[in-house]
Homo-oligomer: A and B are copies of this chain.
């Protein structure tokens, strides 16, 4: 099956040149005449020569591959993000490893470790659950690192962000403007930066609307449909009188919708629900979900573009942060 691999030596022989000339031709480097280049390229084509990226990586100390570490590719937010990032990478001729962490810091550490062994050129880390110090240490050996929705700056480091805080604030303000007074928050997982940002935005929004802060209306949640459902039930039990819920993400909001339906409350009649992210499924549930829109594909492609730039040695210019935008549908 695995017939002998065609190497640069074969092409060199066929074209009557040295191996080095083959290397130069394949990489479009200067230093050879147009006719020679042509001849080498034709020979390579004829022999279906595919340079070994492994050997190239070893010799050049650059693998031209990247890694993306995220909690869960099956989560549409991360799937869409990853797809956009991969597409940009492909356009630049680079391949990418995908690693799932299942929201587990240890798995995240393991993933990073494993990528280190792959001699990867850089990583995008989305939804990191690692505390600052551990994260810094874990990525210290990577040449280029981009964090999604977590601040990170330095030589070879950068981040792309959605203004989660402002988004949450606007969502709360909107809910308040429609007469909601007791607004609950499904805050998200313990360690996520997103949780902190949304919580801050929640405070901002309440303040802007002149509403009091009641800590009993804040409930942590796992950012999945099931997690949102469980958290909502807990929240309802503790504070049956709430008239609105802002969820960490759309999945949790969908879970909330379910819990509300199961406990016989009408949405948006009895209680309004808002999500975050504006994942495609937010529009197709019934009632369709009001949410804070984020341009996820843009986030992904900007992350990869930034990573590519950092890998080229460019200084981390500040990528403009995405302005959030509230999208109103049926659930509010």
Count of chain A residues with Cβ under 8 Å from any Cβ of B?
A: 55
> Hey, what's the 0/1 contact readout for A108-122 against B, CB within 8 Å counting as 1?
000101111111000
> Hey, what's the 0/1 contact readout for A279-309 against B, CB within 8 Å counting as 1?
0110011100000000000000000000000
Q: Please state if B63 and A86 are interface contacts (CB–CB under 8 Å).
A: no
Q: Please state if B76 and A76 are interface contacts (CB–CB under 8 Å).
A: yes
Q: Please state if B73 and A83 are interface contacts (CB–CB under 8 Å).
A: yes
**Neighbouring B residues of A242 by C-beta, 8 Å:** none
Tell me, yes or no, whether A55 is within 8 Å of chain B by CB. Answer: yes
Tell me, yes or no, whether A133 is within 8 Å of chain B by CB. Answer: no
A64 CB to closest chain B CB (Å) equals 10
**Neighbouring B residues of A257 by C-beta, 8 Å:** 284
Q: Please state if A50 and B1 are interface contacts (CB–CB under 8 Å).
A: no
Q: List 27 A-B contacts (CB under 8 A).
A: A1-B140, A1-B142, A2-B141, A2-B143, A3-B141, A50-B116, A52-B119, A53-B117, A53-B119, A54-B54, A54-B118, A54-B119, A65-B97, A65-B118, A72-B83, A73-B83, A73-B86, A74-B79, A74-B80, A76-B76, A82-B98, A90-B99, A95-B97, A95-B99, A98-B98, A257-B284, A286-B286
